Amino acid sequence: MRLPMPATTHRFLEACRRRPVDRLPVWMMRQAGRYQPSYRAVRADVGFLELCRSPELIARVTCAPIDEFGFDAAILFSDILVHLPAMGLDLSFEKGEKGKGDGGPRIANPVRTRADVAALRVPDPARDLPYVAAGVRAINAGLAGRVPLIGFVGGPFTVASYAVEGGSQGFTRLKTMLYADPDGAHALFEKLTQAAIVQIEAQIAAGCHAAQVFESWLGELDREDLERFSFPYLVRIAEAIRRTGVPSIFFGTGLSGHLERIAQLGFDVVSVDWRIPIDEARRRAPGVAIQGNLDSTVLLGPPAAGVRKALAICEAAGPAPGYVFNLGHGIQVGTPPENVKAVVDAVQAFRWK
């Protein structure tokens, strides 16, 4: 059976390729998550990793924000750390406090030595993560061609920060490793790069229409260390995605000072956070599409505040093709769903005069 697929001319994919669109496409990072009553209802009965391993539940929580808010793209429900158990790391997620933060990751046996790095296995997605590909197929069946589906992996630096620190505990141990044992750090990034490539290839083969690399914490590094310990690996991941033919999207925060350089890594789309005006970002990186820019914190305020800032960004982004509306980082827990709806509606109604 051939499943209905969104036309490759869907406005989200067209904007990623810097082609003209009828209106701006909009989606939001973490559009599926604890701010939604429907997500909290699913999570009341299942643990986070259990959810990530159920194709049926993956499809349900991925499609919910499309049904509820009308986003122009869906993003696979999974996590940048789901493959770590297959690599040999004992991963768990703490229970998120009710109404407060998301449940954060914990790794009981973090990577601290060369021997720890050597023991890491590159996962085989077909054997170790079959529920991801099955989830992608179930999502596409649920979407029935309405919007494209974005697959994703974590970038080597960001995944390494969890693997080495043992959770969301800063970056000191990982950064110390760069200076104390650069060869060991390279060996770790090499394995995480191979793991990222096989996973994103499997997601695309299963039916994802675009691929995003989450390098959320890369802004921790200075330019010398970015060039040495990150960019060569990101270039390889971008190349692997390019070979599949789907658009590639880079995501990071705190990287405005390196925008021109990041635009040269081989990604079709580069995400920006709120620390740079959108018109400046577009001017400085004319060779790629730009995604992002709205500070997710504004969505915690009155809806009119989010709408005002969102429309100012649409205006400042300008009519040149190649802009995808998004937040600068994920939707925060406690965001009123009606604020999300107000911003999506406003962006979708926006037209250049």
Confirm or reject binding of residue 72 to ligand 1CP (CB under 6 A): no
Binding residue for ligand 1CP, selected from 13, 58, 80, 200, defined by CB under 6 A: 80
- Please list, in sequence order, all residues whose beta carbon lies within 8 angstroms of the beta carbon of residue 20, skipping any fewer than 6 positions away: 14, 321
Contact between 60 and ligand 1CP by CB under 6 A: the answer reads no
CA–CA gap between residue 275 and residue 297 (Å, rounded): 13
Note whether 131 binds ligand 1CP by CB under 6 A.
no
Q: Is 243 assigned a catalytic role?
A: no
Residue of the chain from 10, 11, 18, 30 that contacts ligand 1CP (CB under 6 A)? 30
- Strands 149-154 and 210-215 come out as parallel
Of residues 266 through 295, those in contact with ligand 1CP by CB under 6 A are: none
Contact 326, 18 (CB under 8 A): no
From the list 103, 277, 318, 336, which residue makes contact with ligand 1CP (rule: CB under 6 A)?
103
* Options 74-82, 131-139, 195-203, 225-233: segment touching ligand 1CP (CB under 6 A): 74-82
Nearer of residues 104 and 219 to ligand 1CP, judged by Cβ: 104
Backbone phi and psi for residue 50, each to the nearest 5 degrees, phi listed first: -60, -45
Q: Is 229 in the site for ligand 1CP (CB under 6 A)?
A: no
Residue 151 bridge partners (DSSP): 211
Helix (H, G, I), strand (E, B) or coil at 189: helix
Residues 259, 282: Cα–Cα separation, whole Å: 10
Nearer residue to ligand 1CP within complex by CB, 96 or 337: 96
Q: Residue 96 or 266: which CB sits closer to ligand 1CP?
A: 96
Q: Confirm or reject binding of residue 33 to ligand 1CP (CB under 6 A).
A: yes
Site string for ligand 1CP, 159-198 (x = CB under 6 A): ---------x------------------------------
The CB-of-171 to ligand 1CP minimum distance in angstroms stands at 11
The DSSP code sequence of 28-72 is -TT-SSTTSHHHHHHHTTS-HHHHHT-HHHHHHHHHHHHHHH--S
Alpha-carbon distance 332 to 297, whole Å?
7
Q: Is 124 a catalytic residue?
A: no
**Two structure tokens written together for 141:** 């069946």
Residue 5's alpha-carbon distances to 140, 150, 231, 303, in angstroms, are 8, 13, 33, 34
The full DSSP string for 203-236 is: HHHHT-SEEEEEETTGGGS-HHHIIIIIHHHHHH
The one-letter code for the residue type at 215 is E
Question: Is 79 part of the annotated catalytic residue set?
Answer: yes
Binding flag, residue 105, ligand 1CP (CB under 6 A): yes
Q: Is 48 in the site for ligand 1CP (CB under 6 A)?
A: yes
Q: Which one of the spans 31-39, 131-139, 172-180, 195-203 is the region binding ligand 1CP (CB under 6 A)? A: 31-39
> Which candidate in 11, 18, 34, 53 is catalytic?
34
Is 96 an interacting residue with respect to ligand 1CP (CB under 6 A)?
Answer: yes
Residue type, 117: V
Spot the catalytic one: 11, 39, 60, 79: 79
Are the beta carbons of 229 and 185 closer than 8 angstroms?
yes
Q: Which of 11, 43, 53, 60 is catalytic?
A: 43
Instruction: Specify the residue, 18 or 74, whose C-beta has the smaller distance to ligand 1CP.
Output: 74
The encoded tokens of residue 270 equal: 């580069």
Q: Contacting ligand 1CP (CB under 6 A), which of 55, 70, 85, 104? A: 104
Strands 91-93 and 74-75: unpaired
Among 14-22, 103-111, 179-187, 284-292, which window interacts with ligand 1CP (CB under 6 A)? 103-111
Catalytic residues: 30, 34, 43, 79, 162
Where along the sequence are the contacts to ligand 1CP (CB under 6 A)?
A: 29-34, 43, 48, 75, 77, 79-81, 93, 96, 102-105, 152, 158, 168, 214, 216, 330
